[in-house]
Amino acid sequence: MNDLTSRLGFPLLAAGQSQKEVTHNEALLRADMLVQAVVEGLPQPQPPAARAPGQCWLVDAAAQGDWAGHDGQLTQWTEGGWRFFGAFEGMAVWCRTPAGMLHHIGGNWTRDIDAGALRIDGNRVVGARQPAIVSPVGGQIADAEARSAISQILVVLRAHGLIST
């Protein structure tokens, strides 16, 4: 039997174990950090000067100081010092600044969303990028307003990445 849970690494109690409260308290501290995890900001290489118990950060590459050797991990400041947890593929955390979800993909924390489609209330609003559309040219003078409107629509679609440039 393992001593830790397989995904989040919570310590398990053993039959006849003395001082079970130590193992149990460690599991509670991990749960407090990892269940609906919230980090203060984007990954950074060194600990912040100002911190409060319970606050979490993401450790960037080439970590320094107390964070050295913990690149890419999630860390929490506690009354007992820093606690670290190795991120796993697909792990998600809420980032306070800038506000939004971060995902651990391919060994890195990213704000990108990888999906085949974006749905809001079950309705597909964005799908895969479509091929480029050639801007209108030619036509008569009376065509100038329509050509201008179509060009503006194309500029917006390209800016949102919905069609190629």
Q: Which residues are CB-neighbours of 108 under 8 A, at least 6 positions away? A: 72
Determine the Cα angle at 126 with ends 121 and 131, to 5°.
Answer: 165
* pLDDT for res 43: 95
pLDDT value of residue 28? 82
**Kind and range of the H or E element at 22?**
helix 20-34
- Per-residue pLDDT tens, the chain, 165 aa: give them: 578 777 777 787 788 878 888 878 878 888 878 888 999 999 999 999 999 999 999 999 899 999 999 999 999 998 889 999 999 998 999 999 999 999 998 888 988 766 677 777 777 777 777 777 777 777 666 677 788 888 888 888 887 777 777
Q: Which helix (DSSP H) or strand (DSSP E) does residue 159 occupy? A: helix 144-159
Strands (E), the chain: 38-41, 56-58, 74-78, 81-85, 92-97, 100-105, 108-110, 118-120, 123-126
The model scores a pTM over 0.85: no
Per-residue confidence (pLDDT) for residue 51, from 0 to 100: 95
d(CA 83, CA 29): 9
Q: Is 71 exposed, middle or buried (0-12, 13-18, 19+ CB in 10 A)?
A: middle
- Per-residue model confidence (pLDDT) at position 139: 67
